[in-house]
Amino acid sequence: MTNQFRVIRNRNPSIIMPPRPCELCHTARAILKRPKTGQQICKECFFKVFETEVHNTIIDGQLFKPGDRVAIGASGGKDSTVLAHCMKVLNDRYNYGLELFLLSIDEGITGYRDDSLETVKRNQQQYDLPLKILSYDELYGWTMDKIVEQVGRKNNCTFCGVFRRQALDRGAAQLGVDHIVTGHNADDIAETVLMNIMRGDIARLGRCTQITTQSEDTIKRSKPFKYAYEKEIVLYAHFKKLDYFSTECIYSPDAYRGHARVFLKDLEAARPSAIVDIIHSGEAFELREEAKTLAKAQQTCLRCGYISSNDLCKACTMLEGLERGLPKLAIKDRRSKEFEGPMPENARTIPTFRRNPTNEASKSTVDEVNKTSDISL
């Protein structure tokens, strides 16, 4: 294929065909086929429909209100980088009236997170948004590298997921924001639906497709990319020439999610609409009333004050398991066991969680963030 013509070879002599026009504007040359719809469109029309669909997701889901302070979960990867770009563009274009921040979590993965955080710091300069970095080491006293040394590669993602979720809430609380947005895309959500089906986790299956989650003691979270295909996010980043980190986490190849991902890709190859079809199927699941009554009431962790359905939250239980040298015991059903004996001397614990910092403390933290692009807490 040349720059101007596409040559199709068949039984007849070579036939020179003119370039296919964009199916939307009918003037510019089509340069890509949308994975989501199969439409062959030009670059500018792709940007327009992608951004418009994200905007419609935000409006239909009533994700924000004017004056909201929103933290964008920033990892430096394609999803969070495109999310940061789109949030800034759409906030300006449609006058959402949001105050945006970048919030990054440093899990302590040598050769991966340290490199990706350099990308986040460049994004901070490119988008002119305040950046805050919170590390596992300073919050929990452990890095993922150290955790993997104890746990091995089979269950390390369980620890990271629990620690990361709480770290995001704590970082957002210290920023004094109202809302966290994450780059979870349609593929991620469809994979989660499949995982919950395979594990028979009915409770999570009933809520994993929700675009917004919030409880009394946690900060509101939402997924503006709920219906955005991963392939289209990659195309958007490519054609916009966005600066992002493309290396996968060195500990993720052994994750259970990988099995669901492979299955989903096979389904997508046969039927591109399979991704959004699975999401809509997940949305149709709802717990029966009798099942809802069996769910444990939410309370606060007796040790750190974070939301929990047990006396100790997952993060405190897992941290205690690490401190005792019994990490595998910590990931079992917390309702069926308790650690024996007193806590080890000098065992590390998680600082008390404060959902609503005082206005003065919140303002002080934000002022410090505005002074520098890299703050570790």
Report pLDDT for 358.
Answer: 42
Report pLDDT for 343.
Answer: 73
Residues 112-150: pLDDT tens digits? 999 999 999 999 999 999 999 999 999 999 999 999 999
Measured in degrees and rounded to the nearest 5, phi and psi for residue 278 equal -65, -40
Q: How far is CA 7 from the centre of its chain?
A: 42
Taking the C-alpha atoms of residue 225 and residue 57, their distance in angstroms, rounded to an integer, is 8
Taking the C-alpha atoms of residue 226 and residue 228, their distance in angstroms, rounded to an integer, is 6
Could you give the 3-state DSSP secondary structure of residue 152? coil
Report pLDDT for 292.
Answer: 56
Taking the C-alpha atoms of residue 141 and residue 274, their distance in angstroms, rounded to an integer, is 42
Report pLDDT for 4.
Answer: 39
Residues of the chain with pLDDT under 70: 1-17, 216-217, 254, 287-297, 332-341, 355-377
Tell me the binding residues for ATP: 73-75, 79, 105, 183, 188
Tell me the binding residues: 73-75, 79, 105, 183, 188
- What are the chain's domains? 1-46 (no CATH), 61-295+354-371 (3.40.50.620)
Report pLDDT for 17.
Answer: 63
CA nearest neighbour of 301 among 320, 274, 287: 320
Cβ–Cβ < 8 Å for 297, 311: no
Report pLDDT for 338.
Answer: 64
Taking the C-alpha atoms of residue 73 and residue 104, their distance in angstroms, rounded to an integer, is 6
pTM of the model: 0.85
Report pLDDT for 361.
Answer: 42
Per-residue burial over 280-319, b if 16 or more Cβ lie within 10 Å, else e, is eebeeeeeeeeeeeeeeeeebbebbbbbbeeebbbbbbbb
Query: Please, what is the Cα angle at 169 between 168 and 175, to 5 degrees?
Result: 90
